[in-house]
Amino acid sequence: MLSKKLFKSISAGALVLSLGITLAYAAADDVIKARQNWMKERAKALGPMVAIMKGEAPYDAAAVKASLDAVNATWEAVKDIELFAPDSAKGETVETFAKAEIWSDPEGFKAAGEAMEKAFSNLAATTDEAGFKAAFPAVGAACGGCHEKFRRPKG
């Protein structure tokens, strides 16, 4: 994994020497893919909690914890990447649905991210079904709240 990353940065370095601007585009594509993938993985990690919310699975504190751990793990996997780097506002070959407001309203974007963190930590603090069911909708609202302002709808 590490050597793969290293190789990538070496070849990217070679490219930038010969082509200059290409690196920014290639990197933007990588960043866009990383954040889209992160979002998808996180949505997947939430699955067991969504099932409990919908009544498709019984409430189970251990399952909730496992699901929250899985959500955290998706974050761990990308924490070294600047997922919304300014030069990733547009990709070369990858389409991004990130809106320009992310960069023109960084405070608003940050607040939307913090609302999500808070919703997750409130959820993690719950210990029973009633608490879980009362806290979960805030997570969905935080996802949706940011998407509404900062993501273009797909297709």
Instruction: Give the interface with ligand HEC as residue ranges (CB under 6 A).
Output: 32, 35-36, 39-40, 42-43, 46, 96-98, 109, 112-113, 116, 139, 142-143, 146-147, 150-151
Closer CB to ligand HEC, 46 or 68, in the complex = 46
Show the tokens assigned to 80.
């070294």
Q: Rounded distance, CA 134 to CA 142, Å?
A: 14
Closer CB to ligand HEC, 32 or 68, in the complex = 32
Closer CB to ligand HEC, 52 or 112, in the complex = 112
Rounded to the nearest 10 degrees, how much is the dihedral formed by the CA atoms of 38, 42, 44, 50? -160
Q: Answer for the pair 2, 9: CB distance below 8 angstroms, yes or no.
A: no
Query: Residue 117: exposed, middle, or buried by beta-carbon count in 10 A (0-12, 13-18, 19+)?
Result: exposed
Q: Would the CA dihedral through 39, 44, 45, 46 be positive or negative? A: positive
Closer CB to ligand HEC, 18 or 76, in the complex = 76
With vertex at residue 87, the alpha carbon angle to CA 111 and CA 109, rounded to the nearest 5 degrees, is 10
Please, what is the minimum distance in Å from the beta carbon of residue 66 to ligand HEC?
Answer: 16
Q: Rounded distance, CA 88 to CA 91, Å?
A: 6
Closer CB to ligand HEC, 95 or 128, in the complex = 95
Please, what is the minimum distance in Å from the beta carbon of residue 3 to ligand HEC?
Answer: 28
